[in-house]
């Protein structure tokens, strides 16, 4: 099978973590943008990438690059691709696109033109055309059109990879699974110390942390991907990859994972999501105020994702919560590294501790920071400053 270009998209700002994952899996990094990395490999390689990448959003396999000055040229060029080799006449296809072209005001127009070219070509070659529509749970074709340059990909993920399949109950303002994985990777946590997560919400951070510590493939839970609807899908390879991933995953942890939330509903949701993810037995759950969370003797990380006033909660009320987190860190978390993930820099100042690292992220469009605080044990003084 011929290797080709593979474009892996991710949430804005996550590229450094995606790059690291790719290199670790033995794939080259050919180029990168703020929301994606290009590598190379065969369409079979995309199965492995979909199964193993924690921070990727979609894995796109390049079919063709061409020039199109207008929609008619797009149709003509699209018709040149041998779609009958990829999509069954009895199947279903969805076209998605990202278009930056002065003559195209509505991306839906580019989608329809592309879809027409695909189904017309298949009807001409096979005497029948596949169904088409907006659902991304079968064959998905992606068009990237900027200026007069087009790239056409098979979206081998279909539904985005953040939909791991375990989060049946999202509580208010849940973090995307892929973002949560990147946040845990950014802390460097590997399961050798404890993982304490007050304000757990739907439990996404703790579930992703458990996957990371177990070396468990994030895609094992999902039973549908775009590549399964592309002709020539190598089912044997897929079951082999899944079996190998299951074999390589640890069954137990050396550390404790503790999650708490003031809302009973949130803790119930976190528990049920963890059960669906198959890691409930590895996590300790409790309903309590964050400040009452029991932090075990020893070391590890304590990570909180408090509300930051954009979608929930009022800023004024939150000021005392952030100040309280600083006190909680000082009084109960010595020996640990404390982390706060927030989209409000002013609220973060209320914590009253000096952050040793500030790692940038985006949660949807909101610029966020993962702030790290070293909470020294015993006689070593906590680094404190007056924040204005």
Ligand X SMILES: C[S@@+](CC[C@H](N)C(=O)[O-])C[C@H]1O[C@@H](n2cnc3c(N)ncnc32)[C@H](O)[C@@H]1O
- The site for ligand X (CB under 6 A) is made up of 171, 173-175, 198-199, 201-202, 204-205, 261-263, 266, 289-290, 305-307
Nearer to ligand X, 202 or 344 (CB): 202
CB 283, min distance to ligand X, A: 14
CB 196, min distance to ligand X, A: 12
Report whether 8 contacts 56 (CB < 8 A).
yes
CB 266, min distance to ligand X, A: 4
The CA-based angle 233-238-241, given to 5 degrees, is 155
CB 124, min distance to ligand X, A: 48
Report whether 256 contacts 296 (CB < 8 A).
yes
CB 299, min distance to ligand X, A: 22
User: Whole-angstrom Cα distance, residue 281 to residue 331?
Assistant: 29
Structure tokens at 260: 């708490």
Report whether 202 contacts 269 (CB < 8 A).
yes
The CA-based angle 196-162-152, given to 5 degrees, is 150
Nearer to ligand X, 131 or 327 (CB): 327
Closest-approach residue to ligand X (CB): 201
CB 262, min distance to ligand X, A: 4
Nearer to ligand X, 107 or 263 (CB): 263
Give me the helices (H) in 103-221, please. 107-126, 177-187, 204-214
Nearer to ligand X, 121 or 167 (CB): 167
235-248 and 45-52 helices cross at what angle (nearest 10)?
A: 40
Nearer to ligand X, 337 or 363 (CB): 363
Q: How many residues does the chain have?
A: 388
Nearer to ligand X, 142 or 202 (CB): 202
Structure tokens at 295: 């932090």
């Amino acid at each position: 099978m011929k290797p080709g270009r593979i474009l892996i998209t991710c949430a804005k700002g996550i590229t450094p973590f995606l790059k690291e994952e790719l290199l670790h899996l033995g794939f080259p990094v050919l180029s990168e943008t703020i929301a994606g990395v290009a590598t190379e490999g065969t369409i079979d390689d995309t199965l492995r990438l979909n199964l193993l990448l924690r921070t990727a959003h979609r894995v796109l396999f390049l079919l063709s690059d061409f020039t199109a000055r207008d929609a008619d040229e797009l149709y003509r060029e699209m018709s040149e691709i041998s779609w009958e080799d990829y999509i069954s006449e009895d199947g279903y296809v969805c076209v998605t696109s990202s278009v930056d072209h002065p003559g195209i005001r509505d991306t839906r127009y580019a989608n329809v033109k592309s879809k027409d070219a695909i189904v017309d070509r298949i009807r001409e070659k096979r005497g029948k055309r596949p169904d088409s529509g907006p659902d991304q749970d079968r064959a998905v074709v992606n068009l990237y059109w900027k200026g007069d340059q087009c790239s056409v990909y098979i979206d081998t993920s279909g539904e985005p990879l953040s939909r791991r399949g375990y989060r049946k109950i999202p509580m208010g303002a849940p973090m995307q699974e892929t973002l949560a994985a990147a946040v845990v990777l950014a802390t460097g946590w590997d399961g050798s110390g404890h993982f304490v997560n007050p304000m757990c919400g739907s439990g996404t951070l703790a579930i992703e942390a458990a996957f990371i510590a177990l070396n468990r493939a994030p895609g094992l839970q999902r039973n549908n991907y775009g590549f399964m609807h592309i002709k020539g899908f190598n089912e044997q390879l897929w079951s082999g990859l899944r079996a190998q991933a299951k074999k390589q995953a640890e069954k137990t942890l050396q550390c404790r994972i503790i999650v708490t939330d003031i809302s009973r509903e949130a803790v119930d949701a976190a528990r049920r999501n963890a059960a669906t993810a198959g890691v409930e037995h590895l996590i300790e759950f409790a309903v309590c105020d964050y400040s009452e969370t029991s932090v075990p003797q020893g070391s590890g990380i304590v990570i909180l994702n408090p509300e930051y006033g954009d979608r929930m909660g009022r800023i004024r009320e939150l000021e005392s919560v952030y100040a309280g987190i600083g006190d909680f860190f000082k009084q109960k978390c010595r020996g640990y590294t404390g982390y706060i993930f927030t989209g409000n820099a002013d609220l973060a100042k209320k914590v009253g501790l000096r952050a040793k690292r500030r790692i940038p992220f985006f949660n949807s469009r909101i610029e966020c920071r993962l702030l790290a605080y070293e909470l020294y044990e015993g006689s070593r003084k906590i680094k404190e400053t007056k924040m204005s």
